[in-house]
Structure 1
Amino acid sequence: MRVLFLVQGEGRGHLTQALSLAQILKTAGHDVIGALVGVTAERGVPAFFSEKFTAPITPLFSPGLVYNAGNNSLEPFKTTVQAIRSMRPFWQSLQQVRDTIETQRPDVVVNFYEMLGGLTYALFRPSVPMICIAHQYFAFHSNFQRPKGQWFYRQAFKINTRLTCFGAQELLALSFDKQADEPSQRVRVVPPLLRQELTDLKPTDGDFLLAYVTQPGLRSELMKAHLQHPTVRMDGFHSGVTAPDQVIDDTLTYHAIDGKRFLEFMARCKAVITTAGFESVCEAAYLGKPALMIPQPNHFEQACNAIDGQRAGVGVAASHFDLEQLLKAIPNYDSTVSERFRAWHAQGYFLFLAALNRAIMPKSKPSGGFFWTRMRHILRS
């Protein structure tokens, strides 16, 4: 089977999932022939992906999210304005996606939440089948957990998610735990895609808390929490550190961002403090580390992840750096949560291969009005 990837380059989650699926496909004897990665002028293809992905990589312009420079909160209005201003290069990228698919003729296209994929299939209707993979597709499931209110952010999230998956044969919704499929929404629930570097680790019981803080606001909250609990040992990874290790005092050390080292620290820590990104919370769950999940401001998806993660028992949701809440939760953490999570993750190999095989089976193509029919249903659900 020849497989072509389309990958959203925002953050590391979708890129990491693409690397993980590539490992599965290689083990099964299939061929990943390349990856089209959505980038911006400010954000190229990250080194961790380009160094480990063995097939050709083609960067394509795709509008990115806009965050507030002060507190790192998501700015939906500015994101929309930027996308409108970028229509010309975006249209060129859509044409390039279409041309690549029709020229290389893969057996199936796998789209990791890249809008270029959904709109290419909506507007040009390539003949090659596509499946879409992301945690975000769980938004179309009846058990989807979401915060109360936030109507505007919820609709913006749903519209963006729909735009990534027009024309897909199936939506593979990555989930913390096993859930029933919802065929009426084309949703099949599958385990998380985790990198092999994580699954090879042997977790131990440490005596320190591990924090991953990229937001300026969270960094100041970490220091405040440290001053309130000076005897609690904490190690924090954040982008403002240039040296590998920056010792603040006997119980607080900062580290430069390093994906491999962060995983090694996670395997040895007592608990994890992070934003509510799906990937990092899953990594903590696999290693049996409870997580304090702090969604980025205005980030509806992360707010949902925090609620869903708390439902699944992998951690506790918080609106801010609430060290007291985490310290109270650690003694009550259920270790069987990690055991169930690992068992669920182990089913992924077969479920993903089965989905790819279903995709290449002869099926009728969506009708010509598929794009607009789905658009009319976006705000109804």
Structure 2
Amino acid sequence: MFCVQTEGRGHMTQALALRELLEEAGHQVVCVMASKSRRRKLPAYFRKAFGVPVRELASPNFVADKNNKKIRVFASIGYNLLLLPTFIVSLVKMRKLIHNAQPDYVINFHDFLTGIYHALVPRQHHFIATHRSYLAFHPEFPFAPGRTMERHLLKLCCEIMAAKAETRWALSYRPYLPNHFGNTAVVPPLLQDIKPKNHQDDGFYLAYMVNDGYAEDLITSFDKCPPGTVAHCFWDRRGQNDIWEARPGLYFHPLSRKKFLDHLRRCRGVISTAGFETVCEAHLAGKPIGLIPTEGQYEQACNAVDAEAGGIAKRLGGYDLAEFVSYVENGKFRPGIQTEWMAGRETWRKIISETVA
């Protein structure tokens, strides 16, 4: 059984890739639980991918500011406390889902509700938790400087989401030594449909944002780009189901995995909020990458530090396409060096054979 936090496309990408690897090894995904958010709609491609029902349950999530840009940490805590009765109902529904599915393993893709459930309810299945943030417990992980309280909150959230997990998979841009610490293994990204250097340059730029409030920044900076610049942005603004041409040459697309990956293979460079999967996919395709951590999201600030330290991406001062275009066109991109690690399907086959009986 998969339990997937559906904020952004990253966890959904991981789930799709792991399902493929598990089925290749003779296992079967019998049930999928997706966390439900009022801010977002679950993409149709994810609903259709598994061949089993995808059940949506209300789960704790972040609260953004009025412009849907910056994450408000304390507002998120208060908001989720007010929704406790709703989450209790979700826990009861989750227990029923697990009882009916009778899984041998539950794999949590960083969903809060799933962690709480496993902290509270005795179980008869194995529990695996996977996410990038479990690297926060590795002695060599480069945290974003300062922000000590947010560092502790990040670790606390990880402990909750992996409560009583027998195994934690810490997804990483690059290898770390030691590659095992405690019950945690440092593992390559879970990617699908991307092959090293399987790309071309059709001259346009690709943008991705988790929170659609960054659209205004992208539009403003696009106006400062050289004449003839073309950019395609993928977002999940609720109710925006068609392509929107915000400026001549600047297009906003609703999330579509197939379409996004097609644009990724053909673009000149990728500018994105500092998640994980998009960065890995772009790096594997050999693209220059500009990263903007989502404001207020400490995890993304750490992602940007780590990606730049590994020579994978460049941190930008804001969601500034003009800055990124200048950076790429002037040849300032430093080629990445982690493609062998990121294309780690053989590593994952070994992990599955050793972990999933």
Matches within 5 A, 1:90-109: 90-109=87-106
Q: 1:208-242, CA deviations, whole angstroms, 9 ceiling, x for partnerless residues?
A: 32222465663343344334332462313155776
Distance 1:40 1:229, change over 3 A: closer
Paired position in structure 1 for 2:277:
279
Percent pairwise identity: 30
Distance 1:219 1:101, change over 3 A: closer
Distance 1:108 1:71, change over 3 A: closer
SS of 1:347's equivalent? Answer: helix
Q: 1:130-179, CA deviations, whole angstroms, 9 ceiling, x for partnerless residues?
A: 01111121111112222111123222222222110111011101111122
Letter in 2 for 1:266: L
Runs of 5+ in structure 1 lacking a partner?
Answer: 358-381
SS of 1:80's equivalent? Answer: helix
Kindly indicate whether the alpha-carbon contact (under 8 Å) linking 1:171 and 1:186 is maintained by their aligned counterparts in 2: yes
Kindly indicate whether the alpha-carbon contact (under 8 Å) linking 2:311 and 2:335 is maintained by their aligned counterparts in 1: no
- Partner residue of 2:301 out of 300, 303, 324: 303
Letter in 2 for 1:37: A
* 1:12 equivalent in alignment to 2:12: no
Matches within 5 A, 1:45-84: 45-70=42-67, 72-84=69-81
Kindly indicate whether the alpha-carbon contact (under 8 Å) linking 2:58 and 2:90 is maintained by their aligned counterparts in 1: yes
Kindly indicate whether the alpha-carbon contact (under 8 Å) linking 1:141 and 1:182 is maintained by their aligned counterparts in 2: no
Kindly indicate whether the alpha-carbon contact (under 8 Å) linking 2:312 and 2:335 is maintained by their aligned counterparts in 1: no
* 1:228 equivalent in alignment to 2:227: no
Paired position in structure 1 for 2:167:
170
In the alignment, the residues of structure 2 paired with residue 130 and residue 257 of structure 1 have an alpha-carbon distance, to the nearest angstrom, of 34
In the alignment, the residues of structure 2 paired with residue 215 and residue 120 of structure 1 have an alpha-carbon distance, to the nearest angstrom, of 28
Kindly indicate whether the alpha-carbon contact (under 8 Å) linking 1:102 and 1:126 is maintained by their aligned counterparts in 2: no
Paired position in structure 2 for 1:327:
326
Kindly indicate whether the alpha-carbon contact (under 8 Å) linking 1:192 and 1:348 is maintained by their aligned counterparts in 2: no
Structure showing the higher helix proportion among its residues: 1
* 1:339 equivalent in alignment to 2:336: no
Distance 1:9 1:77, change over 3 A: same
Distance 1:184 1:265, change over 3 A: closer
Letter in 1 for 2:284: Y
Q: 1:13-47, CA deviations, whole angstroms, 9 ceiling, x for partnerless residues?
A: 11221111111111122111111222145545332
Kindly indicate whether the alpha-carbon contact (under 8 Å) linking 2:234 and 2:253 is maintained by their aligned counterparts in 1: yes
Paired position in structure 2 for 1:144:
141
Matches within 5 A, 1:104-253: 104-181=101-178, 183-196=180-193, 198-199=194-195, 202-213=198-209, 215=211, 218-231=214-227, 233-239=229-235, 243-244=242-243, 246=245, 248-249=247-248, 252-253=249-250
Paired position in structure 2 for 1:372:
none
Q: 1:41-83, CA deviations, whole angstroms, 9 ceiling, x for partnerless residues?
A: 5545332210112122222221221111215100111111111
Kindly indicate whether the alpha-carbon contact (under 8 Å) linking 2:197 and 2:284 is maintained by their aligned counterparts in 1: no
In the alignment, the residues of structure 1 paired with residue 93 and residue 214 of structure 2 have an alpha-carbon distance, to the nearest angstrom, of 40
Runs of 5+ in structure 2 lacking a partner?
Answer: none
In the alignment, the residues of structure 2 paired with residue 103 and residue 293 of structure 1 have an alpha-carbon distance, to the nearest angstrom, of 42
In the alignment, the residues of structure 2 paired with residue 255 and residue 23 of structure 1 have an alpha-carbon distance, to the nearest angstrom, of 30
The aligned length equals 351
TM-score with structure 1 setting the length: 0.83
Distance 1:174 1:296, change over 3 A: same
In the alignment, the residues of structure 2 paired with residue 119 and residue 149 of structure 1 have an alpha-carbon distance, to the nearest angstrom, of 29
Kindly indicate whether the alpha-carbon contact (under 8 Å) linking 1:295 and 1:306 is maintained by their aligned counterparts in 2: yes
The structure with the largest alpha-carbon Rg is: 1
